[in-house]
Each structure stands twice: as C-alpha cells, then as structure tokens.
Amino acid sequence: MADSWTFAVARADLGQTTLVDGTPPTVAEGEALLRVDRVGLTANNVTYAVLGDAMRYWQFFPPVGLGPQWGLPPLWGFAEVVTSTVAGIEAGQRVYGYLPPAGHLLVRPDRVDASGFRDASPHRAELPSPYNAYRLTTGDPAYRPDQEDLLILFRPLFFTSFMLADQVVDNDCYGAESLLLSSASSKTAYAAAFELRGRGPRLVGLTSPGNLAFTRSLGCYDEVVSYDEIGALDAVASVYLDLSGAPTTRAALRRHLGDRLVRDIAVGLTNQTPNADAAGEVFFAPVQMRKRSQDWGRAGLDKRFTEAWQRFTAVVGGWLDVQVGAGPEALQRAWLDVLAGRTPPRVGHVIQL
C-alpha cells in the first residue's frame, strides 16, 4: 500500500497550509480503512474551518503527528474500502461521506446495513450524527455513477438548501411576502431558491455587482439586485436568509425594512464572517432533519430528498463548470483559491486523489 498524506491548515490563519507524508493507520478488530478517492472543495469547506471551534468541526478528524495549531478541514466525497474487519463492509466497496483532507480514514463501522454505516469512533460519538453517516453507492437511491461530481459538489450543500427550504415552508414562510437570500450566487443559496420557487413568497437574490449576470441567468429568483441597491427593494414583510454574514448587508436591510423584516435567519457564511450573533436566529440543518425524520420516518425523508435532488440535477449541470485537479497539491491550490475568493460562481473544484 502506498504511503499516506495529510493536508492541514493553521487554525488561526487558514491561508497557512502544510502537506505532510505519513503511513496508513493500522486496522484493528471492529475497524475499516477507507482510501480517500475523489473530493470537492467549495466555500462550504471554508465555513467548516471558520466555525471549526464554535461548531466542533475540527474534532471530526484530529490531526495525527501535527501540533494543536493545525486542523483538518472536512471534505465531502467518495472513498474506497481498503481493509475491513467488520461484517457487511468489504474491500472494494465505494462510499460517500465526510472525509478528511488526507490519504486515508480509519472508521469503526456501526449500524451496518444495505445503505451503509455510521462511524462509531469514540471521538465522534458526541458530534452531530448526520456527519458520521457513510452511504454505500450500491445502497444509495440518489447515486448515479455519471453524477459523482454533482454529488461531491452539491449533495451536502443541497441537503442544507433542501432542509432550509423545508423549514421555511414548514413555518408558512413566516407570513412573508418576500424571501431575501444573500450570497445569491452561491450553491447553497440558489439550490434553496430552486426548492422555494413557486411556493409562495417572492424570491429576491442579493449579490455582488460582479455576480449579477450569473445569478440572473439561473432563473431561480424573481429578482436579483446588488447589495448597493437594497434601498430600492419593496418595503413588504420580508424574511432574510443570510448566507453571507456581511454586517453591512444586515444593517442596510434593517435600516430599509424596519419592522417589515419579520425574520432574520443566519444560514452560514461565505465571506468568513460569523453571522450567528447578529442574526435573530440560526438555521442548523440537522435540527430540521431530526424533526422531519420524526414526521416522515427516515425512509420518507430519504425519498423526499432523492426526489428533490433528481429535480435539481436535471438542471444544475448547465450552471456549473467542473474543474478537476489531481493529487494533494491540487487540493492545496483549490483551498487557497476558494479561501481567497478567486473561484467564480460557475466553477466547482473536484480533486481526484
């Protein structure tokens, strides 16, 4: 087996990175070793690092052999089972899930069934459970071999978007006439808009002047305006879904809408400015997921997600240019490009490792 590697970022300075060589972990009884194969890198991964302490994202993949100043930003993608001592998990199987920026991941499979397993490693026991699930491609209704890159780039974002749209609809859109989404050119925002389209309120995308043309071309929003045009918005009952975290945008909306801003919900961030404290409330997808798992059952939630995913993938290919890199060095370059905001909204980074 080839030697392994790890890509890490400095927790206090995300632009400082390192690539270190190593050896694959030893597999003990009850464990399986995954080889990280193909992953994506989006602003979502930068979010994990920015919120690494507050939301415990650094705890998923503790860096081995590196000091505490380093962290491993989680990625989404596909891995191959290399070795397994667990019944039902076999070498050669392909899984989708939460992966480290490294050559290998040692897992302790639990609750193994035809759809996959959960990692029951002790250090992950208290972390949000949706991130501990690994889906076998053979037991995943949303999987298609020719759509792997869409799954890599969009599935975690689309799950957030799907659950966000569901929560808004579940609350009768909070009585709003207008839903305002910042970072409207981002994948999470426009996927949520895609889900909300035609379900009640007018959808307004807020974006930077440079992204106006792209965002309007998507056809997800009823209106797209730049941040400096907020003062021209209709002063109607509005809900703000904040995906940017920009204080100036929130201030402008509050100034313009006043008490017509009926909800201010932080959904995450793309410009590395935590927005939870300034917002009226925070959206966290696993919370709505747990509610719907109780309402619909896990099979019902999976069915609704798969149907929504299939609607989305029928159109999203035309909105995306996938750039495929090869090897850990390409992952490092993609990280720095996304961190610095150099990646255009049409571009999605996929790295074959």
Q: What is the CATH number of the domain that holds 9?
A: 3.90.180
Residues 189 and 322 placed together within one structural domain of the fold: no
Residues 202 and 74 placed together within one structural domain of the fold: no
Tokens of 218: 């998507």
> How many CA atoms, within 13 angstroms, populate the side-chain half-sphere of residue 225?
17
What is the number of domains present in the chain? 2
Residue 211 domain-assigned?
yes
Residue (of 308, 270, 262, 285) closest to 184 by Cα position = 270
Residues 128 and 220 placed together within one structural domain of the fold: no
Q: How far apart are CA 260 and CA 250, in angstroms?
A: 13
Tens-digit pLDDT profile for residues 292-316: 999 999 889 989 999 999 999 999 9
Residues 21 and 145 placed together within one structural domain of the fold: yes
Residue 291 domain-assigned?
no
Give the three-class secondary structure for 179: strand
Residues 105 and 35 placed together within one structural domain of the fold: yes
Q: What is the pLDDT of residue 70?
A: 97
Residue 292 domain-assigned?
no
Contact 74, 98 (CB under 8 A): yes
Residues 109 and 61 placed together within one structural domain of the fold: yes
Q: Which of the 8 DSSP states describes residue 143?
A: -
Residues 101 and 131 placed together within one structural domain of the fold: yes
Residue 58 domain-assigned?
yes
Residue 300 domain-assigned?
no
Q: How far apart are CA 283 and CA 289, in angstroms?
A: 11
Residue 302 domain-assigned?
no
Q: What is the pLDDT of residue 27?
A: 96
Q: What is the pLDDT of residue 275?
A: 57
Q: What is the CATH number of the domain that holds 271?
A: 3.40.50.720
Q: What is the pLDDT of residue 270?
A: 44
Q: What is the pLDDT of residue 271?
A: 45
- Percent helix, strand, coil in the chain (nearest 5)? 40, 30, 30
Residues 6+ apart with CB under 8 A from 64: 6, 22, 25
Residues 96 and 203 placed together within one structural domain of the fold: no
Using 50 as the pLDDT threshold, list the residues of the chain that sit under it: 1-2, 269-273
Q: What is the pLDDT of residue 44?
A: 85
Residue 207 domain-assigned?
yes
Q: How far apart are CA 289 and CA 293, in angstroms?
A: 6
Q: What is the pLDDT of residue 220?
A: 95
Tens-digit pLDDT profile for residues 166-198: 999 999 999 999 999 999 999 899 999 999 999
Residue 322 domain-assigned?
yes
Q: What is the pLDDT of residue 246?
A: 84
Q: What is the pLDDT of residue 276?
A: 59
**Count of CB atoms situated within 10 Å of the CB of 133:** 16
Contact 88, 113 (CB under 8 A): yes
Residues 184 and 135 placed together within one structural domain of the fold: no
Residues 75 and 196 placed together within one structural domain of the fold: no
Residues 115 and 20 placed together within one structural domain of the fold: yes
Range of the domain at 29: 4-152+318-338
Residues 176 and 141 placed together within one structural domain of the fold: no
Q: What is the pLDDT of residue 277?
A: 63
